[in-house]
Amino acid sequence: MDESRARSLLRAERDEVAGLLREAEKATDADLTAPDSARDYGDEALPLTEEAEDEAIVEDLRERLAAIDRALGRLEAGTYGRSVLSGQPISDERLEADPAAELTVEEARAQR
């Protein structure tokens, strides 16, 4: 994949993920400060469930942001487009689908 195309895709995704992360962190903060307004016994667990879901989303977004930053670092180092595991080339199709891909399709499948 062309470096300028990769950089463009990564920066666009980084901006999107950073925005989503800010929103998710606000939602988590709102859940923590929301007044307890459970209406019946079944509703009492709802704030805890929502908080756990928000925290999971925040963690996933932070991990994605870190993966994008690692990919940008590989771009700067001249190793972008190669597996961090084997050094084998990652296909352009995979990089188009996931610009932050760190492994070849085969390696990613083997790690599942």
For position 54, what pLDDT does the model report?
Answer: 79
Please enumerate, as own/partner, the contacts of 13-20 that have beta carbons within 8 Å and a separation of 24 or more. 13/68, 13/99, 13/100, 14/65, 14/68, 14/69, 14/72, 17/61, 17/64, 17/65, 17/68, 18/65, 20/61
pLDDT at 46: 60
Position 2 scores a pLDDT of: 94
Model pLDDT, residue 21: 96
Q: What is the predicted pLDDT for the residue at 35?
A: 55
CA separation for the pair 68, 103 (Å, rounded): 13
- The whole-model pTM stands at 0.81
Q: What is the mean pLDDT of each run of 10 residues along the chain (112 residues)?
A: 96 98 85 54 63 87 98 97 97 97 97 90
